[in-house]
Structure 1
Amino acid sequence: MSVPQPRSRNRSCLAVAGAGALVLAWGGPALAAQANPTTVEPAGAAFSASMTGTATLSAGSTIVTCEVSATMPGGGHNLVPDAPDNHNPDGPVSGTIQAPNFDDCDTNMAFVGADVTVNDAVWEMSMQAGSPSTGTMMVPAGGIVVTTSGLASCTATVSPEAEAAISGTWTNGDPASTLAFDTSAPVVVEGGFGCPTNATESDFTATYEVTNADNPSAPITVS
């Protein structure tokens, strides 16, 4: 199985991610020792994130594309912090989100299917204001596992040994803001014939629309 290559035209929007899957964690580690102040609004709002386009994971020449990826509020996650915690004068605003799902997945190989499993129900992410603003999600160790079946039976584990930080670009919008990922993460691929077992990185691209689940007319913004 394969995870996207950095300049491949086949790369598309994912999420580990959710995302990857979209993980907006409100309370994680700072992105830098010296960073811009950050405010996420509206304070206390629940948010959802749904992928636009497709999500792509690739390793070597094998590309896995998923049509559906989203994260929804629940269990006390996907919440902008209440004031005053939605503002950090020294850097990012962080927290937890429900891990995104990745469904309706396929590969670029004939007679080879794919499934994406997301481990750990809760992920973390930090939002940092800047030019551009960014969202950095922490993919847990072994947080995404891609398996292929058919003519090639492979298993690709993203961030296999430790959590990995994956950053995307945040753009404020109305009614939906966007978080776009175009990055990579460590990967280990196992399997036999047709499996890119020499791959050490998985490229990941995905764009999510982030909306206010409580009041869609009041967009989620980072400033």
Structure 2
Amino acid sequence: MQPLRRKGVIAAVVGLGLGAMSAAPAWALAPGTTVGPAGHAYTASLVGGTTAKFVVGSTTVTCNQSGNTGQVPEAPGNTAADGPVSSALTPATFSNNGGNCPTNVLFTTAKTVSNNTNGDWTIALQYDPAGSTGTMTIPTAGVVTTISGLASCTVTVAPDGPASVSGPWVDGTGTTPPVLDFSAGVSLPIRVTGGLTCPTGATTATFSASYAVTDTTDAAQQITVTDGTVAPPE
């Protein structure tokens, strides 16, 4: 059983529903997290043979290239006693063979540009013995997709404030890197502008992708998410 400690980030979300409870049962507490190796840089890119898909209404944008880069915090910042370890990411890139991404609408393509104008992109990695997770946060208006061709539309992700998506963190093996998996599909708030053929009534989009995370400081090592529990003093 994990030692008793505060629920960290989770407490901010569920605390309002706990009423006057003085303490949550130990099984509900968030484990600590250590991300390693401390200080190592990494690249996240699509798992080989997969694509990133962005679905707005009946329109699907498919890109065969997507990724970003980051760095594990230096010690001791790479360990959190009761929650996730967070760090900044570069804005994600999206393309198809280096160019615009195709859509399922004839003679229509999409160009996606990401930015950090209104804040950082971040990743929060949370250890859990039942399955660790990663939560990526996109800053306000951090992704803008322009659809051109038979339709001319602009789709802005997170138009009114930062938006976060979460997926399983799949540990690497001796031959494969770890994966941050959004393949089940995650919902993102959007705003669509454009002509009559644009889905201007859509307020959410579904994003799906799986990213392999590769240690670029030392190719012989892997980025890991492990238990960061701090033992109480004796």
TM-score by length of 1: 0.81
The amino acid of 1:63's aligned partner reads T
**Matching residue within 67, 74, 96 for 2:88:** 96
CA offset at residue 191 of structure 1? Answer: 1.2
CA distance in 2 between partners of 1:96 and 1:157 (Å): 21
Note the alpha carbon deviations across 1:25-60, whole angstroms, 9 max, x for none.
Answer: xxxxx5412421111111111111111211111110
Equivalent position of 1:216 in the other structure: 219
The 1-side partners of 2:84 and 2:109 are apart by 39
TM-score (norm 2): 0.77
Higher strand share: 1
Q: Deviations over 1:90-129 (max 9, x none)?
A: 1100111111111121100101111011021741111001
Matching of residue 47 in structure 1 with residue 42 in structure 2: yes
Question: How many angstroms apart in 2 are the aligned matches of 1:145 and 1:36?
Answer: 36
User: Which residue is equivalent to 1:69?
Assistant: 66
The residue number in structure 2 matching 1:176 is 177
Runs of 4+ in 1 over 3 A off after TM superposition: none
**Bigger relative CO (Cα 8 Å, ≥ 6 apart):** 1
Deviation per CA, 1:151-173, whole angstroms, max 9, x where unpaired? Answer: 11111111101001111110110
Q: What amino acid is the match of 2:126?
A: Q
Bigger CA radius of gyration: 2
1:143-199 residue CA offsets vs partner (Å, 9 max, x unmatched): 111111111111111110100111111011034100011211111111113211111
The answer for unaligned runs of 5 or more in structure 1 is 1-29, 73-77
Aligned length: 189
Aligned to 2:190: 187
Q: Which runs of 5+ in 2 are unaligned?
A: 1-7, 12-28, 227-234
Give the aligned residue type for 1:218: Q
Alpha-carbon distance in 2 for matches of 1:203, 1:119? 20
> Matched residues, percent identical?
44
One-letter identity of the residue aligned with 1:48: T
When the two chains are superposed, the root-mean-square deviation of aligned CA atoms in Å is 1.4
Per-residue deviation, 1:85:
1.7
Larger proportion of helix: 2
Taking the aligned partners of 1:132 and 1:98, their CA distance within structure 2 comes to 25
Task: Choose from 176, 199, 202 the match for 2:202.
Answer: 199
> C-alpha separation between the residues in 2 aligned to 1:92 and 1:177?
17
CA distance in 2 between counterparts of 1:145 and 1:83 reads 35
Counterpart among 123, 145, 153 of residue 125 in structure 1: 123
What is the rounded CA distance, in whole Å, between the counterparts of 1:66 and 1:142 in structure 2?
A: 20
